[in-house]
């Protein structure tokens, strides 16, 4: 054992020493090849491309195909044949790769590179001018195994039954690459179509060409679900931290497909002094400058406001994986230059804000930049026509955008924005991966257009600030997942309660609405204290207070729905007093009506109606939840305990306590949410959610006696008696 460890240490020392030598040589070569600014000569840059994938994923085929069609000089470094046609060592691969780089060739590292440790030494090859790329052949295991088992002339002799075992073993240790390892660009390929596209990109990649940095093609996110009711709203936290930061609709992340190279003038400029240019799975808004083209707003004033509102937004979102991209079609754009300069001076944005030259309707297909949402500087009629960005976006999106826009709003006031989810049939969706367009209307300083402010920049600056606030608020609401296109809202005739109608979908909220800036407000909370509600937490409030702006709203899971109070100032059950008893009775009756309807459709269902002691979302809302708890979004202890411990206040008990005491005693004790997982029927304990779910799916024990009293557990008989 001692000699084995000593040998391994010695091997690492040799590799480190070797890398130090070749890195020094590579840096010298880089200095020699750096173009002279006086001559303006452009030299080719070498690239190290690491292929990643198990045997049978197609690494060697990928290299051979690119080398066959490429004008760029490439060298394939394969450990299976590095030793005069026989299997060799990692050091031999490093040496051959270093030699090829010295000769001006780019290199493919044809090894499995299955984890970070295997990749680390190859990322040290070359100097600062040498780019490091990764091609991840994330092909299904059964395909890799089938290929490996069937082949007979493999270079490394890995074939037959042995190959299947090796593939399975490697995949169990797979560690996907990240830009933070030192890569400039990572391309993920999940099927043959992705592979062919990547071959096309690198095959047409000439000696003087460059490719945009970042992650492209990754389809799945490593995410955790946010705490509270947002778990039932199909949201994920892009930062991976439960309960903090904005959330993202699972289906809104569209894959980046790089099919073109950045051309001259297409550099992505970081409007700050630090941070990575790109990273994986960043939810992005691309927006033009508002009112500076057709509406002739002063560029100096406009650039100040852009930087001001971006700084405010970036400060608000913290470390969340979302970003802003200011886009202009002209390489000589004055507004881009001014904004970039001012943003750098104020150190705004880090890796959250960028400026870019390009066509906002073709950022992915032409530039390889994925933008999930784009902004349109529209007219008050929300119609196609005119010139510039408005005409271009309506044309690129097809008639689907005009139809979808009409469903959201007929007109728009200056300073306001309207979020429009794009139908999947829109060319802008299918070609560019844009899921939403946000129409925004700024102030008009053009006397040739309606409602000119005639030089009143006091009013104009106020409207422009409102326009950017509305735009960013709308984008944040999309990123946080306040939206779905399958929603139906039907106001209750009483006017005091918002019915939230069930459909066959899981619990969702609408994707689009008209947004006005509503940040940094304080609202009543428990015991008269103030509480700052985050933007995502105000989704229910917006629905309840502005039902006319939320046509197509539903908050429903299979037998879990909400009833909202249309009463301003009632943020939670803590704000309710004796005078609100009629309202709560109305809400209870609405909940019973829907429970009865669902029970008639499925006689096995039983319901509880109640309130969370401390809700995660603003606006008083009553939960009507069936006791089967069959939901794929029920994933952690706190969520389970929020519905099955004293933290959940039964509606009948709340009304009784209000009648007797005039207010509700809150169970605001975190110990309830941290309690062990127990079955809500037999009260048996379970170590985790999967085990609990397995148990409750078959548990036939009677419910606790307390639940069977006073109508806390709702059946068809209870609903009939109450409603009569």
Give the 3-state DSSP-derived string for 221-237, with helices as H, strands as E and coil as C: CCCECCCHHHHHHCEEE
| Torsion sign across C-alpha atoms 338, 342, 343, 344 | positive
| Torsion sign across C-alpha atoms 334, 339, 341, 342 | positive
Q: Where are the beta strands (DSSP E) in 168-321?
A: 185-189, 214-216, 235-236, 248-249, 269-270, 283-287
Give the best-scoring range by mean pLDDT among 28-32, 475-479, 515-519: 475-479
Distance in angstroms (rounded) separating the CA atoms of residues 371 and 374:
7
Domains of the chain: 44-138+176-219 (3.40.50.300), 257-479 (3.40.50), 497-714 (3.30.428.10)
pLDDT at 157: 60
The arithmetic mean of pLDDT across residues 254-269, rounded, is: 36
Are the C-beta atoms of 221 and 237 separated by less than 8 Å? no
Distance in angstroms (rounded) separating the CA atoms of residues 156 and 86:
8
Two tokens, residue 328: 């202009």
pLDDT at 697: 82
pLDDT at position 563 over 70: yes
Rounded (10°) angle between helices 581-601 and 651-661: 160
pLDDT at 513: 42
Residue 365 three-state SS: helix
Distance between start and end Cα atoms, the chain? 82
Express each pLDDT in 271-330 by its tens digit: 433 333 344 457 899 999 998 888 899 999 999 999 999 998 888 887 778 889 999 988
Two tokens, residue 15: 């590799």
Q: Among 659, 594, 651, 605, which residue's Cα sits nearest to residue 627?
A: 605
pLDDT at position 222 over 60: no
pLDDT at 78: 92
Express each pLDDT in 121-175 by its tens digit: 999 998 878 999 999 998 888 888 888 777 766 665 665 666 677 787 788 788 8
580 is catalytic: no
Q: Among 229, 249, 254, which residue's Cα sits nearest to residue 237?
A: 249
pLDDT at 17: 55
Q: Where are the beta strands (DSSP E) in 117-265?
A: 131-137, 185-189, 214-216, 235-236, 248-249
Express each pLDDT in 659-675 by its tens digit: 998 888 886 666 788 88
Rounded (10°) angle between helices 141-150 and 161-172: 150
Q: Among 574, 583, 568, which residue's Cα sits nearest to residue 521?
A: 568
Angle at 361 between CA 356 and CA 364, to 5 degrees: 70
CB atoms under 10 Å from CB of 17, counted, come to 9
Confidence of residue 538 (pLDDT cuts 50, 70, 90): low
Distance in angstroms (rounded) separating the CA atoms of residues 464 and 404:
25
In whole angstroms, what separates CA 589 from the centre of its chain?
38
Two tokens, residue 598: 């669902």
In this predicted model, which residue has the larger pLDDT, 596 or 569?
A: 596
The arithmetic mean of pLDDT across residues 565-592, rounded, is: 87
In this predicted model, which residue has the larger pLDDT, 544 or 534?
A: 544
DSSP of 390-458? HHHHHHHH-HHHHHHHHHH-S---TT-EEEEEPPTTSHHHHHH---EEEEE------TTSTT--TT-HH
**DSSP assigned state of 184:** S
Task: State pTM to two decimals.
Answer: 0.39
Which CA distances in Å does 12 have to 93, 106, 188? Answer: 15, 25, 30
pLDDT at position 720 over 70: no
pLDDT at position 190 over 80: yes
Q: Which residue of the set 560, 621, 639, 680 is catalytic?
A: 621
Report the mean per-residue pLDDT for the chain.
75
Residue 323 three-state SS: strand
In this predicted model, which residue has the larger pLDDT, 501 or 490?
A: 501
Confidence of residue 654 (pLDDT cuts 50, 70, 90): very high
pLDDT at 637: 86
């Amino acid at each position: 054992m001692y000699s084995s460890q000593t040998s391994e240490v010695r091997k690492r020392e040799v590799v480190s020493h070797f890398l130090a030598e070749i890195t020094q040589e590579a840096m010298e070569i880089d200095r020699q090849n750096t173009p002279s600014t006086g001559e303006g000569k452009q030299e080719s840059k070498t690239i190290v491309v690491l292929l990643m994938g198990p045997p049978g994923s197609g690494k060697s085929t990928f290299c051979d195909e690119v080398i066959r069609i490429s004008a760029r000089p490439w060298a394939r470094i394969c450990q299976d044949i590095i030793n005069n046609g026989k299997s060799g060592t990692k050091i031999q691969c490093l040496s051959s790769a270093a030699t090829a780089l010295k000769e001006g060739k780019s290199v493919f590292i044809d090894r499995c590179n299955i984890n970070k440790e295997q990749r680390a030494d190859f990322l040290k090859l070359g100097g600062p001018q040498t780019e490091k790329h990764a091609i991840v052949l994330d092909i299904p295991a059964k395909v890799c195994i089938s290929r490996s088992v069937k082949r007979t002339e493999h270079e490394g002799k890995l074939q037959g039954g042995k190959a299947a075992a090796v593939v399975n073993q490697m995949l169990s240790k797979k560690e996907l690459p990240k830009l933070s390892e030192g890569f400039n660009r990572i391309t993920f390929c999940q099927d043959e179509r992705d592979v062919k596209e990547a071959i096309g990109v690198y095959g047409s990649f000439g000696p003087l060409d460059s490719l945009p940095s970042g992650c492209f093609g990754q389809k799945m996110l490593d995410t955790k679900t946010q705490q509270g009711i947002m778990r039932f709203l199909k949201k994920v936290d892009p930062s991976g931290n439960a309960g903090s930061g904005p959330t993202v609709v699972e289906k809104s992340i569209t894959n980046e497909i790089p099919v073109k190279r950045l051309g001259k003038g297409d550099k992505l400029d970081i409007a700050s002094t630090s941070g990575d240019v790109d990273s994986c799975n960043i939810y992005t808004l691309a927006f033009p400058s508002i009112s500076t083209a057709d509406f002739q707003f002063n560029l100096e004033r406009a650039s100040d406001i852009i930087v001001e509102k971006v700084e405010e937004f970036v400060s608000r979102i913290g470390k969340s994986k979302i970003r802003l991209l200011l886009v202009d079609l002209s390489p000589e754009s004055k507004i881009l230059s001014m904004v970039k300069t001012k943003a750098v001076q104020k150190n705004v944005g880090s890796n959250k804000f960028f400026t870019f030259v390009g066509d906002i309707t073709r950022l992915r297909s032409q530039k390889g930049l994925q933008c999930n949402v784009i902004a349109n500087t529209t007219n008050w009629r929300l119609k196609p026509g005119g010139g510039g960005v408005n005409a271009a976006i309506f044309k690129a999106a097809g008639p689907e955008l005009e139809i979808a826009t009409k469903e959201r709003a007929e007109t728009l006031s200056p300073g306001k924005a309207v979020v429009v989810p794009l139908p999947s049939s829109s060319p802008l969706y299918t070609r560019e991966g844009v899921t939403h367009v946000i129409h925004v209307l700024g102030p008009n300083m053009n006397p040739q257009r309606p409602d000119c402010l005639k030089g009143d920049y006091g009013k104009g600056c106020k409207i422009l600030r409102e326009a950017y606030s509305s735009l960013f608020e709308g984008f944040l609401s999309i990123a946080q997942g306040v939206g779905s296109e399958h929603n139906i809202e039907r106001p209750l005739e009483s006017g005091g309660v918002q019915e939230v109608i069930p459909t066959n979908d899981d619990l969702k909220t609408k994707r689009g609405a008209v947004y006005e800036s509503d940040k940094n407000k304080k609202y009543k909370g428990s015991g008269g204290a103030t509480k700052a509600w985050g933007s995502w937490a105000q989704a229910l409030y917006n629905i309840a207070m502005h039902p006319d702006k939320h046509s197509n709203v539903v908050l429903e899971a299979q037998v879990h729905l909400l009833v909202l109070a249309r009463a301003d100032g009632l943020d939670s059950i803590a704000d309710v007093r004796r005078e609100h008893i009629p309202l709560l009775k109305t809400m209870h009756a609405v909940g019973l009506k829907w429970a009865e309807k669902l029970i008639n459709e499925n006689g096995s269902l039983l319901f509880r109606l109640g309130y969370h002691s401390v809700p995660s979302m603003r606006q008083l809302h009553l939960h009507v939840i069936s006791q089967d708890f069959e939901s794929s979004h029920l994933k952690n202890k706190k969520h389970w305990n929020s519905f099955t411990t004293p933290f959940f206040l039964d509606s009948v008990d709340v009304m009784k306590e209000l009648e007797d005491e005039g207010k509700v005693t809150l169970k605001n004790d975190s110990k309830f949410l941290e309690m062990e997982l127990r079955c809500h029927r037999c009260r048996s304990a379970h170590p985790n959610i999967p085990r609990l779910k397995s148990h409750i799916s078959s548990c036939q024990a009677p419910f606790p006696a307390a639940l069977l009293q006073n109508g806390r557990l709702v059946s068809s008989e209870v609903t009939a008696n109450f409603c009569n």
